[in-house]
Amino acid sequence: MSEISKVKNPSDVATVERTEQALTFTPRFDIWENDDELVLYGDLPGVNADNLEIRFEEKQLSIHGRVDARQGGVQYLYAEYGVGDFFRTFAIGEAIDASKIAAELKNGVLTVHLPKSEAVKPKRIEVRQA
């Protein structure tokens, strides 16, 4: 085995790097925004909530975790699912109310809610008849 080889699935879902020391991968995330919050959806099959750490500091959201091997001692012919450690960092340009950030992991999908602070939310201005 070469020191580093990369395996990608046909639709480039995740990059898996195999090294002699460990496996690492980069999970994919979708991000959407509405008036009240930013929401991140991450595809994390096989991740256990105990092996997941999420931090928000200085306008950066960091997600670090680990996926344990599903099969021990198996030589895969083709591998699409990430195994090992992963780390993603997102620069957040909006003002976020850090005290209200919430995250949940359900059926292999991580959902992170980043509520916008009141100061940056759009305000509706009422127009009165003169």
pLDDT tens for each residue of 2-23: 232 333 333 343 454 544 445 6
Structural domains counted in the chain? 1
Give the number of other Cβ atoms within 10 Å of residue 110's Cβ: 21
**Residues 49-81: tens digit of each pLDDT:** 999 999 999 999 999 998 877 777 778 788 777
Length of the chain equals 130
Within a domain: 2: no
Q: Containing domain of residue 113, as a range?
A: 28-70+80-119
Q: What is the 3-state secondary structure (H, E, C) of the chain?
A: CCCCEEEECCCCCCEEEECCCCEEEECCEEEEECCCEEEEEEECCCEEEEEEEEEEECCEEEEEEEECCCCCCCCCCCCCCCCEEEEEEEECCCCECHHHCEEEEECCEEEEEEEECHHHCCCCCCCCCC
Q: Which tokens go with 99?
A: 């005290």
Task: Determine, yes or no, domain membership for 52.
Answer: yes
Q: Is the pTM of this model over 0.85?
A: no
Domain annotation covers residue 126: no
Residue 22 domain-assigned (yes or no)? no
Question: Hey, what amino acid is at 120?
Answer: V
In a domain, 8, yes or no: no
At 103, which CATH number? 2.60.40.790
> What radius of gyration do the chain's Cα atoms show?
19
% pLDDT > 90, the chain = 45
